[in-house]
Amino acid sequence: MKANIDSSKNTARIVGVLFIIGTVAGILSAFALGGLLNGPDYLDVVASNASRVTVGAVLILVMAIALAMIPALMFPILKKHSQPLAIGYVIFRGALETLTTIGLVVGWLLLVVVARQYVDSGATATSQFSSLGILLVKANDPIMRSVVSIVFNL
């Protein structure tokens, strides 16, 4: 019985540390990516701050990995109460972290590519790259909002 309590305490500590890592990485990614999309020349800003965007994307990945590990660690504890709910928690939380991370990181990294092409293209194709940049920036909001609300509601 004592070993079981110690194991649960260790799991709780690890989960707490992962939650703190995920939270800090998420906050740092907001600082890294913040302010890049303000103004009409955001593609120029993103192109000149590509390393900042990459760091922000890596921080989002760190956040997602830390938060995705929490359900896996909690599974043994949760299955004592209800195995179907524990499995559902692992699956849906894994889906949430995977889909939102893929959407966010791919969107940000594609925005870097589009911004570089925008700067390199000159005046000939700027409207096409500008339209694609707007699509990448604006598409994340409804997609992420929908995925998060569906998974959390389930």
59 contacts 32 by C-beta, under 8 angstroms? yes
pLDDT in tens, the chain (154 residues): 565 667 778 888 999 999 999 999 989 988 988 877 777 787 888 888 889 988 988 998 999 889 888 888 988 888 888 888 888 888 888 777 777 788 788 888 888 888 888 877 766 666 777 777 766 776 666 666 666 666 556 5
97 contacts 68 by C-beta, under 8 angstroms? yes
Q: How far is residue 97's CA from residue 23's CA, in Å, rounded to a whole number?
A: 13
137 contacts 81 by C-beta, under 8 angstroms? no
* pTM of the full structure: 0.78
Q: How far is CA 10 from the centre of its chain?
A: 26
Q: How far is residue 54's CA from residue 71's CA, in Å, rounded to a whole number?
A: 27
Q: How far is residue 57's CA from residue 87's CA, in Å, rounded to a whole number?
A: 29
Q: Find all residues with CB under 8 Å of 86, minimum gap 6, and list them.
A: 74, 75, 78, 79
